[in-house]
């Protein structure tokens, strides 16, 4: 599980070309988009979301629901994304 988390973080960093950020800097439970009340999170926006979604699909072979609210849930944090990928990935 934690290995998958690291791979997801690498995809996030690589696809969005985040500089000066290592997988260790990303908090597993923190929001990927925007920030939570503790100020944690990557603060990415909706256009970043589309790019990240495409990168995740390319790397892990998962697709996402057309129901926006559901997809939003899967992108809530690295943990949430890992859980979704673990369940739906083809290999």
Partner 1 sequence: MPDTNKETSSSTSCSEHWSEIKEVGGGLWHFRFMLWTACHLPLFMVECITAVICFFFWLGARPVRARSKIYLNHLSKVSGKRFGFFSTYKHIFSFALSMMEKLLGWKGAIKLNQIESQNDDLQMLVQQLNQGRGAFLLCSHLGNMEMLRSLTEFGEFHTERDFQVFPVVDLSGTTKFNSLLRELNPDLIDKIVDANSIGVDSAIWMKDKISAGNLVVIAGDRTSANSRNRTIETDFLGESANFPEGAFSLAGILNAPVYFIFVVRKNDFNIRTAYEMHVVRAKTSLDCPRKERPERLKMLLREYAEILERLCVAHPYQWFNFYNFWEG
Q: Which is nearer to partner 1, 26 or 81 (CB)?
A: 81
Identified binder of partner 1 from the candidate list 59, 71, 79, 80, rule CB under 8 A: 71
Q: Does 63 bind partner 1 (CB under 8 A)?
A: yes
Q: Which is nearer to partner 1, 1 or 47 (CB)?
A: 47
Q: Burial-class residue 42 by CB neighbours within 10 Å (0-12, 13-18, 19+).
A: buried
Q: Which two tokens stand for residue 10?
A: 């690498």
Q: Which residue has the tokens 């979604």?
A: 53
Alpha-carbon torsion (16, 17, 22, 23), positive or negative: positive
66: left (phi over 0), alpha (psi -120 to 50) or beta: alpha
Identified binder of partner 1 from the candidate list 22, 35, 43, 57, rule CB under 8 A: 57
Rounded to the nearest whole angstrom, what is the least distance from the CB of residue 31 to partner 1 in the complex?
Answer: 15
Binding site for partner 1 (CB under 8 A): 16-17, 46-47, 49-54, 57, 63-66, 68, 71, 75
């Amino acid at each position: 599980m934690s290995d998958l988390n690291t791979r997801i973080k690498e995809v996030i960093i690589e696809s969005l070309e985040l500089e000066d950020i290592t997988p260790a800097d990303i908090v597993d439970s923190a929001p990927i988009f925007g920030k939570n009340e503790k100020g944690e999170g990557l603060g990415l926006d909706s256009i970043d979301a589309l790019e990240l979604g495409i990168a995740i699909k390319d790397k892990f072979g998962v697709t996402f629901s057309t129901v926006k609210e559901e997809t939003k849930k899967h992108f809530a944090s690295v943990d949430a994304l890992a859980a979704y990928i673990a369940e739906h990935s083809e290999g």
